[in-house]
Amino acid sequence: GAVVSQHPSRVICKSGTSVKIECRSLDFQATTMFWYRQFPKQSLMLMATSNEGSKATYEQGVEKDKFLINHASLTLSTLTVTSAHPEDSSFYICSAREGDTYNEQFFGPGTRLTVL
């Protein structure tokens, strides 16, 4: 299957700093990428959907100025958590889809963010 990588896998930062997470599709062109957040023992929560070259579509309740998403190429999307706070500590997972809307989403390995 297709491979999606995420970097870093773990990050610990101080409150008030910004953290950038990269998501890359390694062997296919990802026309659409998704960013999810998952708190312990809870399901995946979609944060935003991004299509290459256009602005991301954020889900209700997700602050677009706090969670900056850039999808500048067909193989790379980035999520920047700005002015991180302890409540932003979570497991962030990206997924990528090639082509039309029926295609399977391939997930990255996730990034564990801890804000002190």
Query: Contact at 8 Å (CB) between 110 and 8?
Result: no
Query: Contact at 8 Å (CB) between 98 and 28?
Result: yes
Q: Kindly state the tokens that stand for 2.
A: 């297709």
Between 14 and 102, whose beta carbon lies closer to other proteins? 102
Q: How far is the CB of 116 from other proteins (least distance, A)?
A: 20
Between 45 and 82, whose beta carbon lies closer to other proteins? 45
Q: How far is the CB of 100 from other proteins (least distance, A)?
A: 9
Q: How far is the CB of 78 from other proteins (least distance, A)?
A: 17
Binding residues vs other proteins (CB under 8 A) = 1, 34, 42-46, 49, 91, 93, 101-102, 104-110, 112
Torsion of CA 64, 67, 72, 76, to 10 degrees: -140
Residue identified by tokens 């991180």 is 84
Question: How far apart (Å, rounded) are the C-alpha atoms in residues 6 and 21?
Answer: 7
Between 17 and 42, whose beta carbon lies closer to other proteins? 42
Between 2 and 82, whose beta carbon lies closer to other proteins? 2
Residue identified by tokens 């497991």 is 91
Q: How far is the CB of 90 from other proteins (least distance, A)?
A: 12
